């Protein structure tokens, strides 16, 4: 079928496409900007809005409210996807960015717990849920809008530009936080300065609304409406018919693979650097910012390459190669970032011998759990220090012990009357023994091999670009115009919001349970492997497809 000239996406000039991409990318910038702000400033947020409980519980509630934004994203995908398929892409994601932008700004002016009591945490959680709902509809609408403007042979290139803007948002958040902290000083930053980055988001919102108001509806949507072929029930058409539902399920699995690869290379690696390898925050930020900036053009190159060789080879290849290389790359990262730790682990491995009946689930990311058995105390101490250990079974009722090299450290029962004294002796003995066998308390800046570290981080980002760069174009091309917004939004938000967003906590739980600093990588490795294999077998190539087709 020949596409009428007034609807032909190929007629878009590079100038008009750049305007479309910039306008559509601002929502993605909001997503990642807010993501980094809330994660980086969680300590200050917990103090301001959850001070009615103890500090540890406050931090837990802050993290839970942060997760709430991910949990509700699929709901936003269904709500705004349906609206976008019925009334249009432009006005729907104009509404989503308004909601997301104002919710981010309002966090900066929300009164504290001391001022309004319980309404402060309720308000913060509500704003986080609004951000999640809006984001559920924002990204799908943005990439749909760009893809429906782009020429068939350059759709991967233009949609990849949206993916690249996420990096700018992360860097922007890091720069603004550092700039505000340096200008007002740490004392004032703790008191009120942390709010400034949220307030600055109003400027981003104003610019994005101004630009989006100048846009026109996408050519594919206008063509569909002109021909009277729009869907009156997008939810039923998207999820109530097996051919389309099958694609939704397949797309969700592929996005899950892309998400765990992406969140490992962009976020979990930061956790690994700071919490496990004990790199100071300033150095870790510098390493990550360098690798992120280097990767920006690679996102666009990956999208452009997918226009030539197809989406499937890059996405499937990225998932499978990442799954095969995560373990050696993270082990290499340990060697080049904290060689003293790598050498100590090799020379003097740590072994915990304990009665399994005394050992609990060692998931304590915010230090809230109370460990009282000798096994729990021993493992908690090592998990807090980010150290790997092997497990051995002790006789029933025998107190746990930690062996480092030739030295043996006895743990203690936290319920004993002399527990305080035992704790002091245990921690002093553990600290001295670790020091004697060469285990460093912090990574030595001067010992870091910066070129090799950045190279490893860039390689991890290369996998991110291979999977994330072409994914938007592929999802758009998988679904017909009538239900495209609805159909692709759900895989994006379940895959990224649940599988990706919950990766750091899940990986940490595995590490703490197994006692191995690399064990958390099994989560992304397994998910990426399944996605890669299923994609290899079932995913059809979509590159160059005419997406103005109604079926």
Instruction: Report CA-CA distances (Å) from 328 to 257, 295, 332, 459, 460.
Output: 19, 21, 6, 12, 11
The Cα–Cα gap between 81 and 252 comes to 15
| Residue 447: predicted pLDDT | 93
Where is mean pLDDT largest: 137-141, 265-269, 303-307, 363-367?
303-307
Average pLDDT over residues 161-177: 82
Q: Which long-range contacts (CB under 8 A, 24 or more apart) does 429-436 make?
A: 430/381, 430/402, 433/404, 433/405, 433/407, 433/409, 434/385, 434/387, 434/404, 436/407
Residue 59 has a pLDDT of 54
Which of 160-174, 182-196, 469-483 ranks highest by mean pLDDT?
182-196
pLDDT confidence tier of residue 367, bands split at 50, 70 and 90: very low
532 against 421, higher pLDDT: 532
Residue written as token pair 């739980």: 509
At 259 the pLDDT is 92
Decide if pLDDT at 142 tops 50: yes
Residue 9 — pLDDT band, cuts 50, 70, 90?
A: very low
Least confident of 125-129, 178-182, 480-484: 480-484
Name 409's bridge partners: 402
DSSP string, 219-287: HHHHHHHHTT---S-HHHHHHSSHHHHHHHHHHHHHHHHHHHHHHIIIIIHHHIIIIIS---HHHHHHH
Between 385 and 449, where is the model more confident?
A: 449
Instruction: Give me the long-range contacts of 190-197 (CB less than 8 A, separation at least 24).
Output: 190/44, 190/47, 194/41, 194/44, 194/45, 195/107, 195/108, 195/109, 196/108, 197/37, 197/41, 197/108, 197/173
CA distance 369 to 347: 32
Q: What is the mean pLDDT of residues 444-463?
A: 95
Query: Rounded to whole angstroms, how far apart are CA atoms 43 and 454?
Result: 28
Q: Is the dihedral of CA 285, 288, 293, 299 positive or negative?
A: negative
- Of residues 284, 278, 263, the one with CA closest to residue 523: 263
Secondary element (H or E) of residue 85: helix 73-87
Burial class (CB in 10 A: 0-12, 13-18, 19+), 393: exposed
Please report, for the chain, the start and end positions of each structural domain, with discontinuous segments joined by +.
5-337+447-538, 343-436
DSSP 50: S
- 3-class SS at 111? coil
The pLDDT of 187-206, averaged and rounded, is 88
Stretch 58-86: mean pLDDT: 72
Among 120-124, 296-300, 341-345, 507-511, which is the least confidently predicted range? 507-511
Res 452: pLDDT:
97
CATH of domain 5-337+447-538: 1.20.1250.20
Is 399:373 a contact under the CB 8 Å cutoff?
A: no
SS3 of residue 118 by DSSP: coil
User: Mean pLDDT, the chain, as a whole number?
Assistant: 82
Place 365 in a pLDDT band, splitting at 50, 70 and 90. Answer: very low
In percent, the amount of the chain with pLDDT more than 90 equals: 30
In whole angstroms, what is the distance from residue 133 CA to residue 100 CA?
A: 8
Q: What is the pLDDT of residue 247?
A: 86
- Tell me the per-residue pLDDT of 265-293, one tens digit each, with 9 for 90 and over: 988 898 889 878 988 877 887 898 899 88
pLDDT of residue 57: 55
In tens, the pLDDT along 219-266 reads 655 665 565 555 565 666 667 677 778 888 999 999 999 999 998 998
Q: Does domain 343-436 have CATH number 1.10.357?
A: no
Residue 354: its H or E element: strand 350-354
* pLDDT above 90 (res 1): no
Q: Is the distance from CB of 306 to CB of 469 less than 8 angstroms?
A: yes
Report the SS3 class of residue 81.
helix
Percent of the chain scoring above 70 in pLDDT: 84
Strands 401-404 and 407-410: antiparallel
- In this prediction, residue 96 carries a pLDDT of 82
Q: H helices within 395-540, ranges in order? A: 419-436, 450-478, 484-494, 503-514, 522-538
Other CB atoms closer than 10 Å to residue 379's CB: what's the count? 27
**pTM: predicted TM-score of the whole model, two decimal places:** 0.81
- As a whole number of angstroms, the distance between CA 179 and CA 485 comes to 38
Residue (of 159, 138, 160) closest to 149 by Cα position? 159
Q: How far apart are CA 497 and CA 135, in angstroms?
A: 10
């Amino acid at each position: 079928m020949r596409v009428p000239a007034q609807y032909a996406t190929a007629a878009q000039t590079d100038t008009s496409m750049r305007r479309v991409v910039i306008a559509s990318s601002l929502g993605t910038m909001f997503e990642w900007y807010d993501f980094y702000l809330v994660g980086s400033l969680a300590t200050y947020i917990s103090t301001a809005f959850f001070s009615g409980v103890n500090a540890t519980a406050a931090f837990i509630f802050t993290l839970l409210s942060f997760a709430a934004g991910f949990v509700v994203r699929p709901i936003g995908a269904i709500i705004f996807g349906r609206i976008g398929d019925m009334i249009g892409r432009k006005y729907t994601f104009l509404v989503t960015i308004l909601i997301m932008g104002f919710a981010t700004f309002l966090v900066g002016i929300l009164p504290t717990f001391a001022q309004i009591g319980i309404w402060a945490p309720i308000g913060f959680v509500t704003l986080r849920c609004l951000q999640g709902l809006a984001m559920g509809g924002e990204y799908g609408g943005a990439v749909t809008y760009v893809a429906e403007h782009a020429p068939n042979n350059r759709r991967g290139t233009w949609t990849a530009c949206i993916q690249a803007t996420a990096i700018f948002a992360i860097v922007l958040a890091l720069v603004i936080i550092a700039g505000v902290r340096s200008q007002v000083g740490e004392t004032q930053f703790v008191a009120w300065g942390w709010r400034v980055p949220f307030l600055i988001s109003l400027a981003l919102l104003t610019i994005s609304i101004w630009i989006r108001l100048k846009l026109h509806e996408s050519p594919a949507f206008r063509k569909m409406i002109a021909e009277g072929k729009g869907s009156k029930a997008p939810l039923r058409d998207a999820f109530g018919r097996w051919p389309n539902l099958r694609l939704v399920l397949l797309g969700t699995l592929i996005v899950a693979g892309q998400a765990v690869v992406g969140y490992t290379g962009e976020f979990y690696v930061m956790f690994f650097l700071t919490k496990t390898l004990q790199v100071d925050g300033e150095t870790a930020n510098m390493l990550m910012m360098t690798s992120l900036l280097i990767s920006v053009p690679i996102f666009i190159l990956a999208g452009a390459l997918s226009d030539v060789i197809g989406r499937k080879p890059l996405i499937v290849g990225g998932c499978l190669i990442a799954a095969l290389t995560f373990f050696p790359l993270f082990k290499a990262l340990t060697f080049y970032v904290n060689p003293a730790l790598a050498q100590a682990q090799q020379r003097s491995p740590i072994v915990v011998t304990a009665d399994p009946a005394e050992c609990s689930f060692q998931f304590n990311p915010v230090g809230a759990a109370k460990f009282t058995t000798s096994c729990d105390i021993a493992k908690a101490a090592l998990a807090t220090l980010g150290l790997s250990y092997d497990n051995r079974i002790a006789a029933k009722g025998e107190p746990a012990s930690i062996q480092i090299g030739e030295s043996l450290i006895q743990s203690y029962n936290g319920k004993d009357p002399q527990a305080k004294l035992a704790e002091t002796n245990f921690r002093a003995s553990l600290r001295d023994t670790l020091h004697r066998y060469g285990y460093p308390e912090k990574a030595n800046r001067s010992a870091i091999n910066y070129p090799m570290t950045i190279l490893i981080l860039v390689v991890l980002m290369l996998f991110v670009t291979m999977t994330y760069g072409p994914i938007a174009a592929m999802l758009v091309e998988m679904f017909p115009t009538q239900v495209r917004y609805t159909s692709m939004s759900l895989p994006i938000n379940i895959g990224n919001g649940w599988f990706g967003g919950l990766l750091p906590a899940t990986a940490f739980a595995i590490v703490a349970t197994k006692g191995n600093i690399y064990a958390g990588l099994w989560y992304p490795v397994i998910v990426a492997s399944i996605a890669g294999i299923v994609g290899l077998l079932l995913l059809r190539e979509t590159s160059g497809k005419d997406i103005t087709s109604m079926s």
